[in-house]
Amino acid sequence: MIERVLLLAENRYARLILIGLMVLSLQTTVFNDMRPFGVCLQVMVLLAASAGLARGSDVGAIAGFIIGLLYDLVLTTPMGLCAAVFAIVGYLAGVGQSLVYEPTWWTRMLLGSIASAIGMILLPIVSTVTGATGILNARVLFVALIVGLFNAVLSVPAERLCRWALTEPAVVR
């Protein structure tokens, strides 16, 4: 039994789910209350972008999908919507990171910020495709700007967290 638990803990996506739950609880509590300029900060999208920055586009897409799915479970939007968007965010962050020669902390901040902003723009677009109305307006850009700026601040620690969580099992052992 204990060995099974240890094997599960070795799985990087299992660790990501646990971290995702922790970040989700922060998202629904403290970040739900802190609304600078009336914008609810989005750390779940930051986690998806950081996964891409930490482990590349493929792992970033899968990690983004998992994180988005967790977020979908507490939102009233259609299930799978955030999963799809966050998968794109994770993938784009990974692609962006691969294009940078000798990435530094500030390039990671910039990429995390841009990927988060793209996620905030994609989310209402995909929502509109699935039938939501009245959410695709100019405010989307403002929200993307605020979320992007805030996520830039937190992108370096988030990237380190994701790098640890998504470590290969062999390395962990």
Residue ranges in contact with another protein by CB under 8 A: 13, 21-22, 24-26, 28-30, 33-34, 36, 57-59, 61-62, 65, 69, 72-74, 78-81, 83-84, 87, 91, 130-131, 168
Q: Of the two residues 72 and 159, which places its CB atom closer to another protein in the complex?
A: 72
The Cα–Cα gap between 104 and 137 comes to: 35
Q: Of the two residues 73 and 99, which places its CB atom closer to another protein in the complex?
A: 73
CB of 106 to another protein, least distance (A): 27
Q: Of the two residues 84 and 109, which places its CB atom closer to another protein in the complex?
A: 84
Q: Is residue 61 a contact partner of residue 83, using CB atoms and an 8 Å limit?
A: no
Helical packing angle, 105-129 and 139-165, nearest 10°: 120
The Cα–Cα gap between 33 and 44 comes to: 15
Q: Of the two residues 83 and 161, which places its CB atom closer to another protein in the complex?
A: 83
CA distances from 24 to 68, 92, 117, 155 (A): 10, 22, 19, 16
CB of 104 to another protein, least distance (A): 26
CB of 2 to another protein, least distance (A): 21
At a CB cut-off of 8 Å and minimum separation 6, what does 28 contact?
Answer: 74
CB of 134 to another protein, least distance (A): 18
